[in-house]
C-alpha cells in the first residue's frame, strides 16, 4: 500500500483564488445596470425553468421545420432528458456549492424564488447548451438562432443572481459536450423506435 502523494490533492489556495475571482465577477455583473436587460433577462431565465423553453422550441421545430426540424427536435429533447437529471442530481449533490448572496443584485432583476438546489453547475445553462448543440448538429441551419439563445440563457442565470459565472460556464460546457456526444445516437435511436411504433400501428 503506497503513500499518497500530497500533491495529488487540489491546492486549497488555488481553489480559494478561483472562488474569489468568480465572486468578484458575479458582483461586477450585478453592478452593471441595463434597463433593457433588467426587463428581458428575468423573463428569459424563468422561461428556462423545467426545460419549458426548449420543449416549446422542439414543438415549433417539429411542426414547422419539416423532416430536418423533427430530427433536430428529437435530438434536442432526448439529449435533454438524459443530461438534465445528471446535472441537477449527482453533480450538484457532489459539489454542493452554495448559491450566491443575492443582496448585491438589484431587486428589479432578481429571480423570483431562489432555487433550493445547490449552485454548481447551472442546470439551466446545461439544458440550454445541450438542446442547442444536439439540435444544431441535426440541422446546422438552426445554430445561428439556438446558440445565441443558449448564451443568453446562461448569462441570464448570472444576471438575475441565480448563479456565479463559473456555474454558468461549467454548465454550458457540460451541456454542450454531452449534447454533441449523445445527440446523434439518441436521435437515431428515437427514429428507430418511432419506426417500430409506426409499423405496429400499421398492422392493426
> Domains of the chain: which residue ranges?
10-203
Q: Model-level pTM?
A: 0.88
Cα–Cα separations (whole angstroms), residue 84 to 51, 91, 94, 116, 131: 9, 10, 15, 16, 10
Q: What is the pLDDT of residue 1?
A: 45
pLDDT digits 0-9 by tens, 48-93: 999 999 999 999 999 999 999 999 999 999 999 999 999 999 999 9
Contact 26, 159 (CB under 8 A): no
pLDDT, averaged across the chain: 90
Q: Which of 35, 50, 42, 19 is nearest to 158 (CA)?
A: 42
As a whole number of angstroms, the distance between CA 54 and CA 98 comes to 27
Mean pLDDT of 85-105: 93
As a whole number of angstroms, the distance between CA 146 and CA 141 comes to 10
pLDDT digits 0-9 by tens, 144-193: 999 999 999 999 999 999 999 999 999 999 999 999 999 988 888 887 87
As a whole number of angstroms, the distance between CA 178 and CA 91 comes to 14
The answer on pLDDT for 10 being more than 70 is no
Q: Does domain 10-203 have CATH number 3.40.830.10?
A: no
Mean pLDDT of 15-36: 93
Grid coordinates representing 148 are: 445565441
The answer on pLDDT for 122 being more than 60 is yes
The answer on pLDDT for 8 being more than 70 is no
Amino acid at each position: 500500500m503506497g503513500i499518497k502523494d500530497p500533491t495529488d490533492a487540489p491546492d486549497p489556495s488555488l481553489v480559494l483564488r478561483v472562488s474569489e475571482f468568480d465572486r468578484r465577477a458575479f458582483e461586477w455583473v450585478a453592478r452593471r445596470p441595463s434597463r433593457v436587460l433588467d426587463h428581458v433577462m428575468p423573463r428569459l431565465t424563468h422561461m428556462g425553468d423545467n426545460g419549458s423553453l426548449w420543449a416549446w422550441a422542439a414543438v415549433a421545430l417539429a411542426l414547422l421545420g419539416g423532416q430536418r426540424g423533427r430530427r433536430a427536435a428529437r435530438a434536442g429533447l432526448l439529449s435533454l432528458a438524459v443530461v438534465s437529471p445528471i446535472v441537477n442530481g449527482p453533480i450538484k449533490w457532489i459539489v454542493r456549492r452554495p448559491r450566491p448572496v443575492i443582496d448585491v443584485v438589484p431587486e428589479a432583476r432578481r429571480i423570483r424564488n431562489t432555487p433550493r438546489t445547490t449552485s454548481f453547475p447551472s442546470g439551466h445553462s446545461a439544458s440550454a447548451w445541450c438542446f442547442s448543440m444536439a439540435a444544431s448538429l441535426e440541422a446546422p441551419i438552426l445554430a445561428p438562432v439556438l446558440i445565441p439563445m443558449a448564451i443568453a440563457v446562461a448569462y441570464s442565470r448570472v444576471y438575475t443572481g441565480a448563479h456565479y459565472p463559473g456555474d454558468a460556464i461549467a454548465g454550458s460546457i457540460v451541456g454542450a459536450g454531452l449534447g454533441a456526444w449523445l445527440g446523434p445516437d439518441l436521435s437515431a435511436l428515437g427514429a428507430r423506435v418511432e419506426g417500430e411504433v409506426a409499423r405496429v400501428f400499421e398492422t392493426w
